[in-house]
Amino acid sequence: MSKVDRRITKSQEAIKKALIELMAEKGFDSITIQDIADRANVNRGTIYLHYLDKFDLLDKIMEEHIINMRNFCESATEMDFIESTVHCMEYFESNYLFFSTMLASEGARYFRGRFLQFNIEEFKKDVDITKGKNDGQDEDVIVQFVANAYVGVVEWWLKNEMPYSPRVMAEKVGDLLERIV
């Protein structure tokens, strides 16, 4: 595996940060490659060296966060439910600008769908319809309900500038999810 030049990594990070900052200020459709280049303090050609266009750039940023969330979830499998939820909430907190732009604003409606699908896949692993309160229920309905509720609560938390710490939020969400899952 070849080592990536730190200058390339630094440029890519500046470009990604510039796009998210611009999206927090104005709609994605009105952002130009020149806007991104100016904010990132790079040439337009540098952006085109790494990305096809602003849509490719946004897609790469979203994909990176989905992969990071998946890795976060996998690393939290040894934790109890509350601790793993705290782990996820801390990830949202440390990437507040991205998630608040993608979820709490109309920044990128497509991301919400991908985020929801990611949560559907994760909650499918936890739902058991063979016993207890979910006995006889339809698994797809439960998973859709839980995943949509979770995404909605995360959106609310970000839109309201995280009024609770990740731990308190995880405990509140965990308590609610334990009633359902």
Residue-wise pLDDT tens digits, 168-177: 999 999 888 8
pLDDT band, very low/low/confident/very high, at 33 (cuts 50, 70, 90): very high
pLDDT value, residue 40: 97
Per-residue confidence (pLDDT) for residue 105, from 0 to 100? 62
DSSP H/E element including 26: none
All CATH 1.10.357.10 domain ranges of the chain, comma separated, are: 60-180
Query: One-letter amino acid identity for 142?
Result: I
H or E segment to which residue 121 belongs = helix 109-124
pLDDT of residue 107 exceeding 60, the answer is no
Cα pseudo-dihedral 164, 176, 156, 168, rounded to 10: 10
- Give the SS3 label for residue 31: coil
Q: What is the pLDDT of residue 69?
A: 85
Rounded to two decimals, what is the model's pTM? 0.81
- Give the pLDDT of residue 98: 92
Higher pLDDT, 74 or 160: 160
Range 20-44 average pLDDT: 93
pLDDT for 156 equals 93
Residue span(s) of the chain under CATH 1.10.10.60 come to: 1-51
Residue 81: predicted pLDDT: 73
- Beta carbons within 8 Å of 124's beta carbon, 6+ residues apart: 139, 143
Q: CA-to-CA distance for 17 and 20, rounded, in angstroms?
A: 5
CATH number for the domain running over 1-51: 1.10.10.60
Q: Is residue 132 pLDDT above 90, yes or no?
A: no
Rounded Cα distance, 21 and 36, in Å: 9
Angstrom distances, CA of residue 164 to CA of 19, 54, 73, 84 = 27, 34, 21, 17
Tokens of 143: 């998973």
In this structure, are residues 91 and 72 in contact, taking their beta carbons and an 8 Å threshold? yes
Span 22-36, mean pLDDT? 92
- pLDDT tens-digit map of 64-98: 999 988 887 777 667 777 788 888 888 899 999 99
Distances (CA, A) of 93 to 38, 83, 158, 165, 167: 27, 15, 8, 9, 11
Cα atoms found within 13 Å of the Cα of residue 177, Cβ hemisphere only: 23
3-class DSSP assignment, residue 11: helix
The domain 60-180: what is its CATH number?
A: 1.10.357.10
